[in-house]
Chain A
């Protein structure tokens, strides 16, 4: 009987174990067969065994032409509290609010006093604390430990306070070239300038990976390449000099703003681009103070603000006329003081009659009547075709965000009238940005070849440097036309004894004074835009300088306020660009 009892007991235990084994196998099959459940389970396992790691690559750096850093990254700290470790929220609040700038006691105290729970384990106090603040907090911690450990008293505690380092954009030159660079917000988004235009390239690709917490299963952190770096065409010292010159000019002339663009007409490279106002890029949150919302002040006037350029436009009209054969430099026009084009009468800037003038005289005295006549000789089709070939009314494609296209009306447009042919010939009724004007006129300086304006010289990506090629964007006039017109403009400056002349260097150029239209009322204000465009040396142009002063109050004339700015700019430029005076240059090259 005993043997039978034992048999049943063993059989029962065996059956139980079998049932348990079958149950486990069925459960395994059940889980494997249900993908939804499998996914859930995997997620649960991952949550326990892995932690999420977001790898933010360092943003690419920006250098000037010579490798001087214009935009880099500095180390800052996220300060936070591990809620379960906090012992003394009051003291943490005191210490942090006193040491870390722009953070209140109440805020820190509220955050540090939060009850820890599965959904609240950590609270961020600030994301951008400077290194100095963290150093001070660490020092305080150490001092407390030393002082209270010796006395055996219970110390006020900073326990729970933690710091995590990360990078933030930093501009070592502060406001220098701010209009070109733009800035990066704290969420790593580029705004304006190069920072916005090349945001994706500079920022690199953020990657989120799951890393095992189990050290037995440690995995290599995937390598995430840093953002690409950029080498710009601008020269830091030239940029500073040009900014100082334009700031002084704005202050001296009482202008609303000033813009100065320096370009190499042979390559299209922008050597400097100075505009007002500017901001310290390390304090970009003050943007609204400098560029009040609703004021419509563009971040970079050189590319973002189109205006009626006035007489600096006349070289373009003359270039088209010479190129199409409508006139020659010796063509004589008898200026009677007014001309009727499309039903409106055009008069000169002084409302006078200048009598017989050759084409150089027309440019020298900036005669509206003469240029309007020249436009009628060209004819509307050739005139507007020529202006379009100079790139007016189109984006230049310069490597900066926020470029404005300007406005060039043409026959066939609803708002174009026959009278526009006359007014457009001397830069009225047409809107262009300084970069458009500089690019168009660079074709005259560069023997008829118009280069694409560029501000990024090289890109450094994955450890290699790639140069951006120079691009020809058009040949609006013939080389001989360009040479002839350069000579005419150089002579007109010399005859006029212009304030733009630079001792030792032969330069060509043109002043511009444009009335500012009031929408719906026409040209009724006394305010003007004063401009000057010039280049040199005439026989081998190395620079083109475009100056625009908005609404000068000391004098409305470009020849009075803008021409001296050109001269001052060139006097500095020839030193920075190592350009010897013309006679020295010729002597040195003839001694070859």
Chain B
């Protein structure tokens, strides 16, 4: 008992032990804080980079959309009726006259229809493969379903 009291007394009488303890604790907090700050900085820097990437990609989409519109218009200009006619004449073609036309009956020939530039709006049936129930049901549901099924199979198997 005396020995214990002595130890406790001598420990309290050594202030450097307490100081060391406090410094250790402080350093521990400091390291932890630095660690958290580092992780935070890392994550926020990555978020910022991804954010900028997203913005850049959105701008790129806008730019590509504009380019598509522009090139469609330029192509239409190159293929305009006046341009095509001039090109055809340059190549030696001339407009057909009624008396030059020979009409033939071609079995199975389908006359060209008006432009279809987009699918017609109608109910579409998506032919996606059906996901087996095992992927979506819980274990209990599976058991509830399987037990009667197995029992019925067993009863069928009986002689």
Please give the residue numbers on chain A whose beta carbons come within 8 Å of chain B beta carbons, in ascending order.
Answer: 58, 61, 63-69, 72-75, 131, 165-167, 170, 172-174, 176, 214-218, 220-221, 229, 231, 236-237, 240, 457-458, 460, 463-467, 503-504, 571, 574-575, 578, 580-581, 584-585, 588, 591
- Could you tell me the distance between the alpha carbons of A9 and B149 in the complex, rounded to whole angstroms? 83
- Could you tell me the distance between the alpha carbons of A240 and B86 in the complex, rounded to whole angstroms? 13
- Could you tell me the distance between the alpha carbons of A585 and B50 in the complex, rounded to whole angstroms? 68
B110 smallest CB distance to A (angstroms): 13
Q: Is the interface of A mostly helix, strand, loop or mixed?
A: mixed
Which of B50, B73, B98 is A170 in contact with, Cβ under 8 Å? B73
Q: Cβ of A237: which chain B residues have Cβ within 8 Å of it?
A: 81
- Could you tell me the distance between the alpha carbons of A591 and B103 in the complex, rounded to whole angstroms? 13
Check B118 against A73 for contact (C-beta < 8 Å). no
Check A167 against B72 for contact (C-beta < 8 Å). no
A263 smallest CB distance to B (angstroms): 16
- Could you tell me the distance between the alpha carbons of A459 and B85 in the complex, rounded to whole angstroms? 29
- Could you tell me the distance between the alpha carbons of A12 and B35 in the complex, rounded to whole angstroms? 36
Which of B75, B115, B119 is A65 in contact with, Cβ under 8 Å? B115
- Could you tell me the distance between the alpha carbons of A463 and B118 in the complex, rounded to whole angstroms? 6
Check B98 against A231 for contact (C-beta < 8 Å). no
Q: Mark B112-130, 1 if CB is under 8 A from A, else 0.
A: 1011111111000000000
Check B69 against A75 for contact (C-beta < 8 Å). yes
Check A65 against B44 for contact (C-beta < 8 Å). no
B21: Cβ under 8 A from any A Cβ = no
Known A-B contacts A72-B72, A73-B73; the reply to A231 vs B51 at CB < 8 A is no
B66: Cβ under 8 A from any A Cβ = yes
Segment of B5-13, B52-60, B132-140 engaged in the interface with chain A: B52-60
Q: Cβ of B66: which chain A residues have Cβ within 8 Å of it?
A: 58, 75, 165-167
- Could you tell me the distance between the alpha carbons of A64 and B117 in the complex, rounded to whole angstroms? 11
- Please report which residues of chain B, range 67-95, place their CB below 8 angstroms from some CB of chain A when the two chains form the complex: 67, 69-70, 72-77, 79-82, 85
* Nearest B residue (CB) for A591: B105
- Could you tell me the distance between the alpha carbons of A221 and B98 in the complex, rounded to whole angstroms? 57
B146: Cβ under 8 A from any A Cβ = no
Q: Cβ of A574: which chain B residues have Cβ within 8 Å of it?
A: 98
Known A-B contacts A74-B69, A173-B80, A231-B115; the reply to A215 vs B48 at CB < 8 A is yes
B141: Cβ under 8 A from any A Cβ = no
* Nearest A residue (CB) for B58: A221
Q: Cβ of A581: which chain B residues have Cβ within 8 Å of it?
A: 98
A428 smallest CB distance to B (angstroms): 37
Check A58 against B65 for contact (C-beta < 8 Å). yes
* Nearest A residue (CB) for B59: A221
Q: List 20 A-B contacts (CB under 8 A).
A: A58-B69, A61-B72, A68-B81, A72-B73, A165-B66, A172-B77, A215-B52, A216-B48, A218-B51, A218-B52, A231-B117, A236-B81, A457-B114, A458-B117, A460-B117, A464-B118, A464-B121, A466-B121, A575-B101, A581-B98
* Nearest B residue (CB) for A465: B118
Q: Cβ of B65: which chain A residues have Cβ within 8 Å of it?
A: 58
Check A575 against B98 for contact (C-beta < 8 Å). yes
Interface-centre pick from A73, A75, A172, A176 (highest chain B CB count, 10 A): A172
- Could you tell me the distance between the alpha carbons of A236 and B115 in the complex, rounded to whole angstroms? 13
Check A66 against B114 for contact (C-beta < 8 Å). yes
A399 smallest CB distance to B (angstroms): 16
Check A229 against B76 for contact (C-beta < 8 Å). no
A229 smallest CB distance to B (angstroms): 7
Known A-B contacts A68-B79, A69-B76; the reply to A75 vs B67 at CB < 8 A is yes
Check A172 against B98 for contact (C-beta < 8 Å). no
- Could you tell me the distance between the alpha carbons of A63 and B118 in the complex, rounded to whole angstroms? 13
- Could you tell me the distance between the alpha carbons of A409 and B50 in the complex, rounded to whole angstroms? 72
Which of A63, A72, A240, A575 is B69 in contact with, Cβ under 8 Å? A72
B47: Cβ under 8 A from any A Cβ = yes
Check B73 against A67 for contact (C-beta < 8 Å). no
Check B121 against A231 for contact (C-beta < 8 Å). no
- Could you tell me the distance between the alpha carbons of A66 and B115 in the complex, rounded to whole angstroms? 5
A76 smallest CB distance to B (angstroms): 9
Check B114 against A65 for contact (C-beta < 8 Å). yes
B63: Cβ under 8 A from any A Cβ = yes
Check A74 against B74 for contact (C-beta < 8 Å). yes
Known A-B contacts A68-B76, A240-B81, A464-B121; the reply to A215 vs B55 at CB < 8 A is yes
Q: Cβ of A460: which chain B residues have Cβ within 8 Å of it?
A: 117-118
- Could you tell me the distance between the alpha carbons of A66 and B68 in the complex, rounded to whole angstroms? 20
Known pairs A231-B115, A580-B103. 20 more at Cβ < 8 A?
A58-B66, A65-B115, A67-B115, A69-B73, A72-B73, A74-B73, A75-B69, A167-B66, A215-B48, A217-B51, A231-B114, A458-B117, A460-B118, A463-B118, A464-B120, A465-B118, A465-B120, A467-B120, A571-B98, A575-B98
B34 smallest CB distance to A (angstroms): 21
Q: Cβ of A580: which chain B residues have Cβ within 8 Å of it?
A: 101, 103
- Could you tell me the distance between the alpha carbons of A74 and B77 in the complex, rounded to whole angstroms? 11
- Could you tell me the distance between the alpha carbons of A517 and B69 in the complex, rounded to whole angstroms? 50
B96: Cβ under 8 A from any A Cβ = yes
Which of B103, B114, B115 is A588 in contact with, Cβ under 8 Å? B103
- Could you tell me the distance between the alpha carbons of A174 and B120 in the complex, rounded to whole angstroms? 30
* Nearest B residue (CB) for A76: B70
Which of B50, B80, B116 is A172 in contact with, Cβ under 8 Å? B80
B82 smallest CB distance to A (angstroms): 7
- Could you tell me the distance between the alpha carbons of A218 and B119 in the complex, rounded to whole angstroms? 35
Q: Cβ of A240: which chain B residues have Cβ within 8 Å of it?
A: 81-82, 85
Q: Cβ of B44: which chain A residues have Cβ within 8 Å of it?
A: 216
B43 smallest CB distance to A (angstroms): 10
Q: Cβ of B79: which chain A residues have Cβ within 8 Å of it?
A: 68, 172
Interface-centre pick from A65, A176, A221, A574 (highest chain B CB count, 10 A): A221
Q: Cβ of A591: which chain B residues have Cβ within 8 Å of it?
A: 105
B149 smallest CB distance to A (angstroms): 45
Q: Cβ of A585: which chain B residues have Cβ within 8 Å of it?
A: 103
- Please report which residues of chain B, range 22-67, place their CB below 8 angstroms from some CB of chain A when the two chains form the complex: 44, 47-52, 54-55, 58, 63, 65-67
Check B74 against A176 for contact (C-beta < 8 Å). no
Q: Which A-B residue pairs are the 3 nearest by beta carbons?
A: A67-B115, A215-B51, A218-B51
Check B73 against A584 for contact (C-beta < 8 Å). no
Known A-B contacts A173-B80, A216-B44, A580-B103; the reply to A229 vs B72 at CB < 8 A is no
- Could you tell me the distance between the alpha carbons of A74 and B67 in the complex, rounded to whole angstroms? 8
Check A229 against B98 for contact (C-beta < 8 Å). no
Check A172 against B69 for contact (C-beta < 8 Å). no
